């Protein structure tokens, strides 16, 4: 309630108070010191050529190289080598246009298929078999198996109206 009353006082006659502040004369700025004012000496120093400095700058030679990225570190054979998809999938969001993937990579639908197979039979679809079947490195296949999860729906039974009670003996 106090905030409402305070707001009313702050908003009362705002326009007149604003016009009064705007119409006040502005104070004059303090005079500058002589050192702050640009003089003829400073402008001459700025535009003067320094021959010894120019000679030293001409002797400097800079050669720059781009850092090596991971993509450049991979041999070109692996980048151009591709493998066909293992499974034919129906046209899902234009995925049927993809016929092959680079070696060491999986398409999203292949990942889902691999995870489904591993979930149904983890003894047969081990990380070693996944790596061999899909041309992956063993650590990548283990990471795929451990950290990538398929969407899973768990249906909870409805709550019953009967409540358990402690019986007196």
The residue extents of the domains of the chain are: 83-147
DSSP-derived letter for residue 107 is -
Structure tokens at 165: 């009670």
Query: Which among 164, 168, 128 has a CA at the least distance from the CA of 145?
Result: 128
Query: Which tens digit of pLDDT belongs to each residue from 65-112?
Result: 888 766 544 455 445 687 777 766 566 555 556 677 888 888 888 888
CB-based burial label for 114 (10 Å; 0-12, 13-18, 19+)? buried
Q: Report yes or no: 119 and 127 within 8 Å, Cβ to Cβ.
A: no
Residue, of 11 and 35, whose pLDDT is higher: 11
The per-residue pLDDT for 129 is: 92
Query: Which tens digit of pLDDT belongs to each residue from 121-163?
Result: 989 999 999 999 888 899 999 999 888 877 777 777 777 767 6
């Amino acid at each position: 309630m106090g905030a409402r009353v305070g707001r009313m006082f702050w908003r009362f006659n705002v326009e007149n108070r604003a016009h009064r502040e705007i119409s006040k004369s502005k104070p004059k700025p303090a005079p500058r010191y002589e050192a702050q004012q640009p003089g003829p000496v400073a402008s001459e120093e700025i535009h003067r050529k320094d021959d010894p400095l120019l000679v030293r700058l001409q002797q400097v030679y800079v050669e720059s190289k781009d850092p090596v990225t991971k993509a450049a570190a991979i041999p070109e054979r692996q980048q151009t080598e591709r493998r066909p998809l293992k499974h034919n999938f129906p046209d899902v969001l234009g995925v049927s246009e993809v016929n092959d993937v680079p070696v060491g990579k999986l398409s999203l639908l292949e990942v889902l298929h691999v995870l489904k197979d591993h979930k149904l039979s983890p003894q047969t679809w081990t990380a070693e078999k996944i790596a061999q079947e899909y041309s992956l490195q063993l650590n990548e296949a283990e990471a795929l198996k451990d950290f990538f999860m398929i969407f899973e729906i768990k249906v909870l039974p409805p709550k019953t109206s009967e409540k358990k009670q402690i019986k007196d003996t």
